[in-house]
Structure 1
């Protein structure tokens, strides 16, 4: 199984999220209530487990694509906004001071890990379904 590759975040700045990302923020609610580990199961055949350096965690890469879809942003724009939008960083499980990915990484992730267009749609659909069940969002639009 792919490990989540995310260890306990020991940044001294993590508490800032409690000040700047309100509890009713949609991204905070989605992040807090949706268990994204289903992504690991869906993508386990797409990663080599014993070769090369650790990839950016697949859940984080998927969340970038989810942000792209929710906010109708380009790869470049979603990465740029992730540099300064604290709700994006919170959603991506990043420390406030952590650097973002290169936008080309999203293209590679889509082409190498999600070559089947239906897989991305299914993963986004499953996330929306969970968010609807938890009443974080009200409609499928």
Structure 2
């Protein structure tokens, strides 16, 4: 019997990142090989706990710069736009 699915785009499908991102993806290997927590110690003195705006997580910022240089992207804005939907970051 032939069934035709209607409104598939409205379905909710639960998946984990490990199901979506291939195990051998380069960025996944980088994330497994490097513990980026050391960046918090290096940048702590540049952030205030009592004043200023909420900050961007320094690890996220570092990863964006890494992606920018790795992919040869010219600007941070373009890097953010191109990597907005990448699950492997």
Aligned residue pairs: how many? Answer: 76
CA RMSD, Structure 1 to Structure 2 (Å): 2.0
Q: Cα gap change, 1:85/1:44 in structure 2, threshold over 3 Å: closer, same or farther?
A: same
Instruction: Call closer, same or farther: CA 1:32–1:14 in 2, change over 3 Å.
Output: farther
Aligned partner of 1:48 in structure 2 is: 48
TM normalised by structure 1 equals 0.48
Where does residue 4 of structure 1 map in the other structure?
Answer: none
Between Structure 1 and Structure 2, the one with more helix by share is 1
Runs of 4+ in 1 over 4 A off after TM superposition: none
The answer for the alignment partner of 1:76 in structure 2 is: 77
TM-score by length of 2: 0.72
Q: Which runs of 5+ in 2 are unaligned?
A: 1-12
Counterpart residue number, 2:64:
64
**Which stretches in structure 1 are left out of the alignment for 5+ residues?**
1-11, 92-141
Describe the shift of the 1:21–1:58 C-alpha distance in structure 2 as closer, same or farther (beyond 3 A): same
**Mapped partners of 1:32, 1:49: distance in 2:** 30
1:52: how far off?
Answer: 3.7
Cα distance, 1:53 vs structure 2: 4.4
